[in-house]
Structure 1
């Protein structure tokens, strides 16, 4: 049964069954909660919504299980606040995959029900809800608005903010070469501060614990800018061969360039840790043409969706 603690439910709703999620809008945490409530009620036979923790400011961290398969893969979005287009993408995947499962249709060449009866996909659509709310709604969305204003140099424009509400970069928080990370900010702020220790933040600790409770065959952590694909973190031998083969398939499907091994990150990211600890493939797709230090324009969503619509099903199908 789903863990419904703290969840917002609608007593009566009117909707088009195929399109619960509107991904072409500034998609807020509140809207996500509403849509998850509708989706769980609509598709209760094969979709569950769970709470896996809380953010610094007490927002629930939601995980969605889609499908009935015993094998599992994992997809997440919005580690970085300004990269909330990744939540739009993940929520649209949940919406369209669920509809396709219910109707018994294909997405691309993939028969959704066949795949999701074999391999369930777990999603965490918004890893950093406090940070996303800060970017979208400003400092008054925070429990301690004066503190975030101070970290932002008194500037009320938070469009460039990547961190969580405490000024910690959540994708520099995982225990994969954390002690040796380069290019870190000295103090909490909009970006690149790795924190006082690995997993110091409740959001990353929740994802870490959630991952360890499962046996995920693969993971995808969506980020926003560059149309490139990170896939490598010190794999060797058969693990390297397997992961590189799957990365090529993801690259061909999306059109994203595989980042060379020599140019891959130094650690601290979710997929770095997943690859090194779980010994399974993990990918960080940067989904949009480079957008700089700001949110990706919503006008890019159609392109992003076309490039990524089949990826969850494709990776699930590959995990034999």
Structure 2
């Protein structure tokens, strides 16, 4: 049956498809006008062809988790299919929808992954794995909390982050899927790719900031409507184009990975970008942007043995900074390269990046991993192959 649907703020075709348990191809088939249109906008009316789905009547003692487990439905899919149901206040006799589902995994690796999905998954992972600790390191320009998740209780502290650059949002998905796989292994056999995660849990505390740049990611995935507080500036900075797929910067047009006080002036002069735009503008001063300041403050508040910033693309690992890195950095980079099949690269003429600043500040191993290969944003169809390459690296970073 075909229904009319009014697009809401924050909707994307992927989110609508997931909510109603249909494929985006189904939406395009009944809305051919969307094929040449990159974004949908609030108030737009589209058609949805919805299949009949089975229903379930709530019984005494039921919880969403029990129902999901019984019918092999992911919690994410079950919640999305029942948006008006409070999972904490189920009523006997209440009727809910049992959607088609890929299973019990929470993190969906088959669709675009944005800030909305990130917050939902952090909440669901926390319910399933209460030993995960979630917090915020600060707020973005638009006031979005920047989440951090900790797994492990060991004295050795390690930090991973992703999505410094807006159109590299697939790095957030890599980190979130790894957190889920790590937590699942810890509660089960303990093994993940042959490594004992229960031992690593007791030896290492891993702190993950999956999305440093939430405003930018939202812009890449949803575009900007006239109601956006930076709408006119964004159009000007993007050379009049409403296609923001090439946007790397934060919402004020500053490249967050050119914001750190590690020869920032040299990077500013080398970039020769005079003002805000999609990429490469260093800002007026180091750490002028709240996202960069938040992660710098967060780093200074911890005693990290090692940090890895995940970017895309190139299948490379950068490990040096002006010969300030410790001797072990090259050895560790070669180990990371061995388990990922990426190349360890000694990178010349790079300043003001997060790993540059970390190495300069602490003289400890810091790395930038350029995951995948192609043109950003990398298509979600590449996720599985990218993840298979980097999961060994993600584990190895906890060991070295």
Same fold (TM over 0.5): yes
User: How many residues are aligned here?
Assistant: 301
Q: 2: distance between equivalents of 1:58 and 1:184?
A: 29
Partner residue, 1:258 = 344
Deviation at 1:251, TM superposition (A): 0.8
Superposed, which structure 2 residues align to 1:39-58 within 5 Å?
A: 39-44=125-130, 46-58=131-143
Q: Which runs of 5+ in 2 are unaligned?
A: 1-62, 76-103
Q: 2: distance between equivalents of 1:243 and 1:218?
A: 10
Deviation readout 1:144-175 (Å, 9 max, x if unpaired): 22221221122110000000000000000011
Partner residue, 1:245 = 331
Q: 2: distance between equivalents of 1:12 and 1:133?
A: 29
Partner residue, 1:73 = 158
Q: Which runs of 5+ in 1 are unaligned?
A: 1-10
| 2:363 equivalent among 279, 285, 303 | 279
Deviation at 1:24, TM superposition (A): 2.4
Superposed, which structure 2 residues align to 1:111-190 within 5 Å?
A: 111-140=196-225, 142-181=228-267, 182-190=270-278
Deviation at 1:240, TM superposition (A): 3.6
Given that residues 19 and 96 in structure 1 are in contact (C-alpha distance below 8 angstroms), is that contact kept between their aligned partners in structure 2?
no
Aligned CA RMSD, in angstroms, stands at 1.6
Superposed, which structure 2 residues align to 1:191-202 within 5 Å?
A: 191-202=279-290
Q: 1: distance between equivalents of 2:248 and 2:303?
A: 29
Partner residue, 2:318 = 230
Partner residue, 2:380 = 298
SS of equivalent residue, structure 1 residue 191: coil
Partner residue, 2:192 = 107
Partner residue, 2:53 = none
Q: 1: distance between equivalents of 2:398 and 2:205?
A: 8
Q: 2: distance between equivalents of 1:110 and 1:184?
A: 46
> Is residue 396 of structure 2 the alignment partner of residue 308 of structure 1?
no
SS of equivalent residue, structure 1 residue 88: helix
Deviation at 1:38, TM superposition (A): 0.9
TM-score by length of 1: 0.90
Q: 2: distance between equivalents of 1:304 and 1:142?
A: 33
Given that residues 163 and 311 in structure 2 are in contact (C-alpha distance below 8 angstroms), is that contact kept between their aligned partners in structure 1?
yes
TM-score by length of 2: 0.73
Does 180-189 or 122-131 show the bigger shift? Answer: 180-189
Given that residues 130 and 142 in structure 1 are in contact (C-alpha distance below 8 angstroms), is that contact kept between their aligned partners in structure 2?
no
Given that residues 321 and 356 in structure 2 are in contact (C-alpha distance below 8 angstroms), is that contact kept between their aligned partners in structure 1?
yes
Given that residues 107 and 310 in structure 1 are in contact (C-alpha distance below 8 angstroms), is that contact kept between their aligned partners in structure 2?
no
SS of equivalent residue, structure 1 residue 143: coil
Deviation at 1:105, TM superposition (A): 2.3
